[in-house]
Amino acid sequence: MLTAGLDIGSTTCKAVIMDGGETILARSVVPLGTGTAGPRMVYERVLEAAALTRADLDRVMLTGYGRFSFEGADSQMSEVSCHARGIRHLLPTARTVIDIGGQDIKVLRLAATGMLENFIMNDKCAAGTGRFLDVMAGVMNVKTTDLGPLSEGAEQEVSISNTCTVFAESEVISKLSSGVRLEDLVAGIHTSVAKRVAGLAHRAGLAEDIAMSGGVALNTGIVKALGRELKHDILVHPDCQLAGAIGAAILARQSNSGT
Ligand code: ADP
């Protein structure tokens, strides 16, 4: 059975096509969120990548913040349910999942069966989210994707005291003009994000294994800084940003078969 899972995020759209809920046939990530051309583009691109048409798919399931604003799918399910299912597929030993997306941070606690036990979320403020890192990268005139590699070159981390995005932006500008090394500043920004995220993770309660998902998990500097703060190794799967879409594609199959 061929299923597609589309995760319409606040900043990024993700899609996968799976065969039998097991094998990923194609993936697509479009850095545009809900309310843009992103949802349509990600769907077209994933079909193209799989050399399939809509008619070839048995079921299409939507998830993500913008799941109610896209037509043409068979069903929809919450981000948290799809995410938990996707992580169980990618990293079956994960019991705590820290998901940092474009605009929110979620911490999921999973039972050994993969069932969701606890869940907390911070979506009131950009601090600690992908948006915070995107803004800081913009101020430093680097790409968000360069942040991880840049932090590798840190010699003496420059700490950032403001967690508020607006104040931190001013602080970064003033540190840059005082002549600090970019690498040291990036490392400080990562530590500041990691401290905030670790506070949320402790509130949810940590259980091993600990995994990260969402687009920000692709930033190796954040993964390392969070590992240091939590004093635990953190698992990251290369498809970490696709966890919600993968969960949707798997659950689409189950809802069709009535299981
Ligand atoms: P959402 O579903 O909330 O839209 P995602 O989980 O897709 O968000 O994550 C989007 C965030 O991930 C963006 O802030 C983006 O900057 C960040 N991101 C995506 N790819 C990378 C990368 N390779 N390195 C660092 N950050 C990344």
Instruction: State pLDDT tens for residues 228-248.
Output: 999 999 999 999 999 999 999
Instruction: Check residue 125 and give its pLDDT.
Output: 85
pLDDT reading at 124 higher than 90: no
CB-based contacts of 177-183 (< 8 A; 24+ apart in sequence): 181/154, 181/155, 181/156, 182/140, 182/142, 182/150, 183/150, 183/151, 183/152, 183/153, 183/154, 183/155
Predicted TM-score of the model (pTM) = 0.94
Q: Say whether pLDDT at 126 is over 90.
A: no
Question: In the structure, which protein residues have their CB atom closer than 6 angstroms to any atom of ligand 1?
Answer: 9-12, 33, 64, 101-103, 130-131, 134, 144-145, 148, 214-216, 218-219, 241
- The atom of ligand 1 lying closest to the CA of 222 is 25
Residue 72: exposure state from Cβ atoms within 10 A (0-12, 13-18, ≥19): exposed
What is the tens place of the pLDDT at every residue in 183-208? 999 999 999 999 999 999 999 989 99
d(CA 13, CA 223): 22
The minimum-distance atom of ligand 1 relative to the CA of 104 is 3
134 CA from centroid of ligand 1 (Å): 9
**CA of residue 247 to ligand 1 center, whole Å:** 18
Query: How far does residue 138's CA lie from ligand 1's centre (Å)?
Result: 14
Q: With 70 as the cut, is the pLDDT of residue 258 above it?
A: no
Rounded distance, CA 143 to CA 203, Å?
32
Cβ neighbours for 55, distance < 8 A, ≥ 6 positions apart: none
Q: Which residue's alpha carbon is at the smallest distance from atom 12 of ligand 1?
A: 215
Nearest residue (by CA) to ligand 1, atom 19, is 215
CA distance 138 to 134: 6
Rounded to whole angstroms, the Cα distance separating 106 from 77 reads: 17
DSSP code at position 92: T
Band of pLDDT at residue 71, cut at 50, 70 and 90: confident
